[in-house]
Every structure is written in C-alpha cells, then in structure tokens.
Amino acid sequence: MNQYVTGAVIKELREKNKLTQFQLAEKLGVSDKTISKWETGKGYPDITLLEPIAEAFRISVTELISGNTIHNANVSANMLRSKFYVCPVCGNVIHSMGEAAINCHGILLAPLEAEPTDENHMVFIERLEDEYYVRIDHSMTKNHYISFVAAVSSNAMQMVKLYPEGNAEGHFKIRGVKRIYFYCNHDGLFSIDPVKGIDDRESGYDDSKERSKLEKAAGMLLGN
Ligand SMILES: [Fe+2]
C-alpha cells in the first residue's frame, strides 16, 4: 500500500475534533507552523508521530493512513446494515456487518451502495413453501453477469455465488428475510424488498400465479 497520511485527512480530523492547529501542535510537541505545513501538503509528519496523531484524534494508525475512519456503534445489532464490498480486479466479495477498511489487490474498497432494481435488472421472486426462489432476468456471459445474490434478515445473511454461463437464481429460507441483494459486474449492487419483488410489476413480480392461470386456460382449451 503506497499511501501515507495526507494533509487533507489531518485537517479534516483536526476540525472534526474541534482542535485548532495550535492545540494539536501542543498535543504533539511540534509547532503550529509544522501542522500548517502538513495540512497544505508542504511536508509529512515523521513516522514516529503517526501514533500520537492517531491518539489525538482517537482513531487507529491504520484509519489515519487509509483516511477512512470507522464509526461502528454496535456492529452486531442489525444485519440489515450489512455492507458488501467487491474487488474490481478479482471479483472477491466481502460482507461486513458495519463499516470497515478493506483492501484487496492493493485497492481500498468502498462499500457498495445498492440501487433499486431497473428494467435491465428485473427480479422475479416466488414463494416455494419456506423458501424464496429468486431469479434475475439478466445475461450470464463472461463479460456481463450477476455474480452473487444475497438475502438478509436482521440476524442472518444467506449468499449464493453465481458464475458466468450458470443461472441467475438462488433459493433462500424465507425466515425474516427483509432485503434481497444482487450484484451485476457491470452495473453494481441492486436491492429489493422481497414483498415488493413479488407484488410490483415494475421491478419484477411473482409470475407463478399468472403461469398457473395460463396453464389452466390452456388445459380448458385442450379439454383437460
Ligand atoms: Fe447488468
């Protein structure tokens, strides 16, 4: 990782902590001119100062260097706050119960923001006994495919990994599932409330009723 603490990060953290350049300087035993130099990119703090700086801002040295401060009050409280990270180089998928600074292939991954489903990423959800059968209407070619589907409840996460040339579908235990996520390698993360997925024709819907109606009509026509 060729990253070091930047002036912008120091300034942001100092202001967030309501410290003047002078107050921070006093804490670190340097001059306020030195702080000003760091903040304007005219110099870097010596490596021996990283720990005292992190301490002054009440964060870890890793957070200081990555410029990515993490505030997790109670990580295990609710899985619905889950974050997904995908490495753009290798496609590695990481699930986190809260914020995290995650590196893969030397890249600091950002938590994915889920978009509502659109006409190119429609979801069909059916209830099959105690399971949701989730199918995404999408290509599964090597270049453009759905790489995972996940179902999240307040205390569980079920994930199905998908591969090109496979089917864009998964089965999930219904128990408490509040949100379905899926990831397209081109278009990013999408999410939908499974109830909406069943009832809303704009985002996708349960086609099992319609199918059984059609089957019945066909049966009548054929005299069965
Ligand atoms: Fe897509």
State in Å: Cα 140 to ligand 1 middle: 9
State in Å: Cα 95 to ligand 1 middle: 21
Question: What average pLDDT score do residues 189-211 get?
Answer: 71
**In 10 A of CB 107, how many CB atoms?**
13
| CA distance linking residue 45 with residue 37, whole number of Å | 9
pLDDT for 139 equals 95
State in Å: Cα 87 to ligand 1 middle: 17
pLDDT for 29 equals 94
| CA distance linking residue 43 with residue 222, whole number of Å | 84
pLDDT for 94 equals 94
State in Å: Cα 194 to ligand 1 middle: 20
| CA distance linking residue 222 with residue 8, whole number of Å | 74
pLDDT at residue 68 tops 90: no
| CA distance linking residue 159 with residue 149, whole number of Å | 6
Distance from first CA to last CA of the chain, Å, rounded?
A: 69
pLDDT at residue 166 tops 90: yes
Question: What average pLDDT score do residues 9-21 get?
Answer: 94
State in Å: Cα 186 to ligand 1 middle: 5
State in Å: Cα 118 to ligand 1 middle: 10
Contact 190, 115 (CB under 8 A): yes
**In 10 A of CB 42, how many CB atoms?**
10
State in Å: Cα 135 to ligand 1 middle: 14
pLDDT at residue 2 tops 60: no
pLDDT for 1 equals 44
- pTM recorded for the entire structure: 0.67
Question: What average pLDDT score do residues 105-109 get?
Answer: 88
| CA distance linking residue 103 with residue 109, whole number of Å | 6
pLDDT for 206 equals 59
User: Mean pLDDT across the chain, nearest whole number?
Assistant: 87
pLDDT at residue 76 tops 80: no
pLDDT for 106 equals 85
State in Å: Cα 91 to ligand 1 middle: 15
Each residue of 31-42: pLDDT tens digit? 999 999 999 999
Question: What average pLDDT score do residues 136-153 get?
Answer: 95
State in Å: Cα 93 to ligand 1 middle: 17
State in Å: Cα 38 to ligand 1 middle: 43
Each residue of 128-137: pLDDT tens digit? 889 999 999 9
State in Å: Cα 166 to ligand 1 middle: 15
pLDDT at residue 203 tops 70: no
pLDDT at residue 176 tops 60: yes
